[in-house]
Amino acid sequence: MTGPWWKSAVVYQVYPRSFCDANGDGVGDLEGLREHLDHLEWLGVDAIWISPFFRSPMRDYGYDVSDFCDVDPLFGTLEDFDHLLEDAHARGLRVLLDWVPNHTSDRHPWFREARASRDSAKRSWYVWRDGSPDRPPNNWRAAFREGPSWTWDAATRQWYLHLFLPEQPDLNWANPAVVAAMHDTLRFWLDRGVDGFRMDVVHCIGKDPALPDAPEELARLPWCALNDHASTHGLLRDIRGVIEAYPGERVMVGEVVLFPAERVAPYYGREDELHLCFNFSPLWAPWEAEAWRRQIADTERALDPVGAWPTWVLSNHDNPRHRTRYGGAEARARAAALLLLGLRGTPFLYAGEELGLEDAAIPEARIRDPGGRDGCRAPIPWEGPDAYGWANGDPWLPWPPDAARRNARALGADPRSILHLYRRLLTLRRGVPSLQRGAQEMLAVPDGVLAWRRTSDAEPWIVVVNFSDAEQRVPLEGSFRVAAASDGRSEGTAYSGRLAPEQALWLRG
Ligand code: NOJ
């Protein structure tokens, strides 16, 4: 298939703390991930994105980086990483890292030096403002905790900016020395052979130098969901230049947390900024046909005119899993897989969704994350109890619900399981140009149902999703065969024109 690989790829997100523990400390590691590459190859994904495994004090579980160019000992060594990358590549899996350009840890040597004195050579690598200790420089709110995105540094009597925790000071990307140093961190990993980066809150790196207040009506939102400054675009073009100096089609996937999709579109630039951007509005849409019809239309309206290739994501490490959000029924989780993998764009899966996992219940004594996101970060059960395939059966977070049944080994042994459904869908998708890259056209169907046609030069395919809890008659022009059914029934038969409650189908023309 022509065109860059990332347009037809399916990307699988690994949250390394929770994927698999090989060394018995209760926290997942790179070796645990390497040991499960066979699962990913069998499943049929094309690339993995690994959430941060760099050196970190773990105040934000790796998104507070104290050395961008080393592996935290909790996860292994640089050698382990090289080994992982080599094994992944040998299996045809690309590897994306999670680059965190907006901030560092307050333990990063750059910030330690910056904080040491107002005259420090690194002072201007971060964002400092004068003021009095009782009044932050503006009304920007930090994420995760109530309160300002400013912390008063009593020793040097200035405020520093942090859009997230106080332990995550924002870098000053208006300083060319920061730009150069951060470019070098990309080169470090590009030289080792990585295929690209997911870029953490990358829309936040350029800031209005005047640091103006958020408008009153939006001031309760964290500033990281509002920051949208023109200077970011030039910074992204330069970053793209760094990436494109390397051979192969290395990719930049931006986490752009802006709403609606119209505000995300400019971050693709004119094919000279991000290759792909996350689009988070659909992630929050309820399981309702009308809501999804709007999400799909909004995405097309925002991205198609500028030639921006969409992405779709239902779950990640920051939000309750979609099965949990949709009420827990497996039928919905199954139908959602056909929805996600049937839309035009690059889908991102979150580890464990192929097992139909729901969020873990987290007793108060076991809360770890200041942002309340532990539930979706529960460890992946590979086998049954007691240890669930982990070297230590007592991991850093509790197991997700029903892990004795919902684990990779048990579901792998059952051809009717949700795991096998994901595998069938991914295998089918790989061989079908219409699904991977084809145009998309919505069809007129009854309320409670969505259907769209995917076409390329090859045969057309139709995706039909019954969001309702009633059987639906959905007559379609032409004759179709059922290539995939969310409940596994009727696959390989002629399409009957009916869908069971909460059933989704992929139909081959
Ligand atoms: C977005 C990441 O997805 C999230 O996990 C992290 O806490 C923030 N950015 C800060 O880096």
Ligand 1: which of 60, 98, 315 to mutate, judged by most atoms within 8 Å of the beta carbon? Answer: 60
Q: Is 351's pLDDT higher than 70?
A: yes
pLDDT at position 467, please? 98
**Catalytic site includes residue 394:** no
Kindly give the distance from the C-alpha atom of residue 267 to the centroid of ligand 1, in angstroms, as a whole number: 18
pLDDT at position 458, please? 76
Q: Is 459's pLDDT higher than 90?
A: no
Instruction: Write down the pTM of the prediction.
Output: 0.98
Helices (H), 146-230: 176-192
**Catalytic site includes residue 200:** yes
> For residue range 290-340, what is the model confidence (pLDDT) as tens digits?
999 999 999 999 999 999 999 999 999 999 999 999 999 999 999 999 999
Which residue's CA is the nearest one to ligand 1's atom 10? 63
Q: Is 345's pLDDT higher than 70?
A: yes
> For residue range 235-260, what is the model confidence (pLDDT) as tens digits?
999 999 999 999 999 999 999 999 99
pLDDT at position 1, please? 58
Which residue's CA is the nearest one to ligand 1's atom 6? 63
Atom nearest to 164 CA in ligand 1: 10
Kindly give the distance from the C-alpha atom of residue 63 to the centroid of ligand 1, in angstroms, as a whole number: 6
Residue 345 carries which DSSP code? S
- The CA–CA distances, whole Å, from 216 to 117, 209, 351 equal 34, 20, 39
Q: Is 90's pLDDT higher than 90?
A: yes
Helices (H), 274-356: 289-303, 322-325, 330-342
> For residue range 376-397, what is the model confidence (pLDDT) as tens digits?
999 999 999 999 999 988 999 9
Q: For the beta carbon of residue 463, count every other beta carbon within 10 angstroms.
A: 22
Mean of the pLDDT values across residues 488-507? 98
Strand pairing class (504-508; 481-485): antiparallel
